[in-house]
Amino acid sequence: MSSAAPTRPRHSSDTRLRKRYAAERRFRFAGLFAVGLSALFLAFLLFDMSWKGLSGFTQYQAAVPIDFPRSDLILDPAALKGGDANDVVAGADLEGVLVKAAVATYGADADELFGTGAIRSLGRQLIRDPELLGRSATLWLPVGSKIDVAAKRDSDAASEKLVEQLQSKHALKRTINKDFLVESDATDPSAVGIWGALKGTFLTILVTIVLAFPVGVLAAVYLEEFATRNRWTDAIEVSINNLAAVPSIIFGLLGLAVFLNVMHLPRSAPLVGGLTLALMTMPVIVIAGRNALTSVPPSIRDAALGVGASKMQVVFHHVLPLALPGILTGTIIGMARALGETAPLLMIGMRAFIAAPPSGITDSATVLPVQIFLWSDEVNRGFVEKTSAAIIVLLLFMLVMNGLAIYLRNRFEQRW
Amino acid sequence: MKEKMPISSTTAVPTPSAAIAADAHRQGPSTTEDPVPSGDEIVPDIHSALPAADPTDKVELDSARTPKMRAHEVSVFYGDKQALKDVSINIHDDRVTAFIGPSGCGKSTFLRTLNRMNDTIPTARVTGHIELDGEDINSSGMDVVQLRARVGMVFQKPNPFPKSIFENVAYGPRIHGLGNSKAELEHIVEKSLKRAGLWDEVKDRLSESGISLSGGQQQRLCIARAIAVDPEVILMDEPCSALDPIATAKIEELIHELRGRYAIAIVTHNMQQAARVSQRTAFFHLGELIEYGKTSEIFTNPTQRRTQDYITGRYG
């Protein structure tokens, strides 16, 4: 006790140290728990989706012998070689032929063995080989949705029995559903495809990015680098920050009111969808762009000004290239949000049933999230796997787009 | 590239490494000092009777009688706060002028008014009169971009562009249209890098990033970049404060070599550095110019008490 300096009791410092380590451990466990929980959710989502969705990319086909000369089909093989072959096939009663052939081969219960997909497939095979009409042949055709579901999972007793019968005769096989990737929406789940929605999404996002990216970046550059700080720019800044938080359905209503009712642009077209999504995405890009521009070190601006660069040269030669990775990150976030957006597009009529892929940005179209929404609403059990399959396509589309953006960002990234 | 192009008049200035420290204290033959502008009470008029002290006085006899830049009663305000109070200084063509003083005394602020870099600070306001070759730099006829090309600047922290070494130097000439062909640009880049004493170190890696150089090399690259646009005045804002002593010595040597070709004004915290590199020294304190005169006089025989206190290390 002779020393004037206060000596800390050894045991108390040990306790404090233990407490500190314990707190650290608790925090680490909490973090691990959070990460584990989110990983679990993600794994569940991915597993559930692939479980239900991957079968949507396959399709059962059944073999059926058709004796064309003796069928009721009235078709001229010569007409099938012309340019209007599709119309000729569409006019013929292919369905009747199929039902008759199926019933003749597999019994009376087999009248629903084939659906729209089989009719389309038969038509295609006839156009490819018109000589079929002169003989009898055994053709592999996609089965109807009910039988498809029965073959993949469980279904009603009649369908199950038919499947068993087909399997025992080796008249049933599983194939890759190429139609799903090249066809559009249909009422029969065995005939639906994702291509129409995929193309609609692509066109819509194209319109969005072409409008939102340059306008958003230029607005950010102007507000951050050129605008003088006053009440007006403050008001604009607050408005932009608020716009980024506006629910998307409001943008849909705005698009409906302005683009459809006032400007009379075509309904449910990618052009209008893109315009609406561009309105929604722009604030996000402006905010991200301004943050990226602010984070460029002022010494670079000084350096460029110091050698006599004008304000514009400073911005476009030095500041903007350095801010580009950050701007691109913001754009990715905005685009990902736009890509998954459903509500505003419903408002401008993109929920219509559209059975043909759009040929341009003014054609009627639908987009992937809306297609998923529409299919999830269907009663037919065949749509369940199609919905999941469409979700997989949407996520892959997103993955490709984000991958591209990240690649671009890394290419432009410069260190200083 | 270097074989193809003969370089004219690049490193003709004799290397004065031995002279660095001795320069400030050398006494020369007497000539009259340049006249202090009338109405300038703050600049202490102490030198007119004293013997002149630097080797540039011989040049002064036939040229440079009028100062390159003349600042008259310059005040700078940041918002309501006055950062600089009625400062009047002349900067001469062939001399190095050092600004010393404690932190926050306004020396960097004053330096930045000379090429209107304070314009970029929205709250900054400059009053007073600054001339470059008799032209008012704040007049409407003076283009600020052209002014900054004529009055170059080197900053405290080396700030090369995150581009190649070649692009760093070529950027200025390119935007000012000095090098129209690739060969001309290459010539300018080589000349500037040679003047900045960096050529031998980087000639084989001109396409590498300027960021990959060491701190001292980066600062010399920044000097080369400033030289490349052929300025008349070079302002240096504590160019060595982020560098080690060896890199600092190289920069100081470089300043010696550049003297005579450009008017140089340098802000420094390091009083030995001011004594080594400059012929004129201005001492700032709390936004005021306390004393301005020949470096040798300021360091050996200051007239103001505050100058003496600062130089001898009593505060600052």
Q: Is B179 on the interface with A (CB under 8 A)?
A: no
Q: Whole-number mean pLDDT of chain B? A: 80
Nearest to A110 by CA among A164, A178, A187: A164
Contact across the interface for A308 and B225, Cβ inside 8 Å: no
Each residue's pLDDT tens digit, A17-27: 999 999 999 99
pTM: 0.78
Determine the residue type at B77. Answer: F
Identify the pLDDT of residue A354: 85
Report the distance separating Cα A37 and Cα A49, nearest Å: 18
* Other CB atoms within 10 Å distance of the CB of residue B183: 12
Contact B83, B53 (CB under 8 A): no
List chain A residues with CB under 8 Å of B222.
Answer: 303
Number of A to B CB contacts under 8 A, please give it: 70
Q: Which long-range contacts (CB under 8 A, 24 or more apart) does B195-202 make?
A: B195/B10, B195/B11, B195/B224, B195/B227, B195/B257, B195/B258, B195/B261, B196/B220, B196/B221, B196/B223, B196/B224, B196/B227, B196/B254, B197/B250, B197/B253, B197/B254, B197/B257, B198/B224, B202/B165
SS3 category, B205 = coil
DSSP assignment of B211-263: GGS-HHHHHHHHHHHHHHT--SEEEEESTTTTS-HHHHHHHHHHHHHHBTTBE
Least confident range of A335-339, A348-352, A396-400, B56-60:
B56-60
- State the alpha helices, DSSP H only, in A64-186: 85-91, 94-106, 116-128, 145-152, 157-168, 178-182
* Other CB atoms within 10 Å distance of the CB of residue A180: 23
Can you name the residues that pair with B129 across neighbouring β-strands?
B72
Each residue's pLDDT tens digit, A167-209: 888 888 898 888 888 888 888 888 889 999 999 999 999 999 9
List chain B residues with CB under 8 Å of A303.
Answer: 155, 159-161, 222, 225
Interface TM-score (ipTM) > 0.90? no
Contact across the interface for A307 and B155, Cβ inside 8 Å: no
| Start-to-end C-alpha separation, chain A | 57
Identify the pLDDT of residue B41: 37
Report the distance separating Cα B292 and Cα B100, nearest Å: 10
Optimal mutation site among B117, B118, B146, B171, interface A, most CBs of chain A within 10 A: B171
List all residues of chain B from 221 to 260 with a beta carbon under 8 Å from chain A.
222, 225-226, 228-229
Q: B264: Cβ–Cβ under 8 A, 6 or more apart, which residues?
A: B95, B96, B97, B233, B234, B235, B236, B255, B258
Given a cut of 60, is residue A33 above it in pLDDT?
yes
Contact across the interface for B159 and A302, Cβ inside 8 Å: yes
Each residue's pLDDT tens digit, B293-307: 999 999 998 998 889
Q: Hey, what are B190's tokens?
A: 């080589």
Least confident range of A63-72, A210-219, A405-414, B93-102:
A405-414
Instruction: Choose among A310, A318, A415: nearest Cβ to B161.
Output: A318
Q: Is B161 on the interface with A (CB under 8 A)?
A: yes
DSSP class of residue A133 equals G
Q: How confident is the model at residue B32 (pLDDT cuts 50, 70, 90)?
A: very low
Report the distance separating Cα A367 and Cα A274, nearest Å: 11
User: In angstroms, what separates the C-alpha of B227 from chain A's closest C-alpha?
Assistant: 9
In total, chain B counts a number of residues equal to 316
Least confident range of A3-7, A311-315, A394-398, B271-275:
A3-7
Contact B82, B265 (CB under 8 A): no
C-alpha pair distances (Å), A238 with each of A188, A232, A295, B76, B217: 50, 10, 20, 32, 45
Q: Which residue has the higher pLDDT, A216 or A86?
A: A216
DSSP assignment of A192-220: --SHHHHHHHHHHHHHHHHHHHHHHHHHH
Determine the residue type at A139. Answer: L
Each residue's pLDDT tens digit, B166-176: 999 999 999 99
Identify the pLDDT of residue B24: 39
Q: Is B213 on the interface with A (CB under 8 A)?
A: no
SS3 category, B314 = coil
Each residue's pLDDT tens digit, A338-394: 988 899 999 888 888 888 888 888 888 999 999 999 999 888 888 988 999 999 999
What whole-number percentage of chain B has pLDDT above 90?
A: 44
Each residue's pLDDT tens digit, B86-135: 999 999 888 899 999 988 888 999 999 999 988 888 888 999 999 998 88
Q: How confident is the model at residue B39 (pLDDT cuts 50, 70, 90)?
A: very low
Contact B120, A301 (CB under 8 A): yes
Report the distance separating Cα A273 and Cα A362, nearest Å: 10
DSSP assignment of A263-324: T-PPTT-HHHHHHHHHHHHHHHHHHHHHHHHHTS-HHHHHHHHHTT--HHHIIIIIIHHHHH
Q: Is B215 on the interface with A (CB under 8 A)?
A: no
DSSP class of residue A360 equals S
Each residue's pLDDT tens digit, A283-292: 999 999 999 9
The nearest alpha carbon in chain B to A317 belongs to: B171
Identify the pLDDT of residue A7: 64
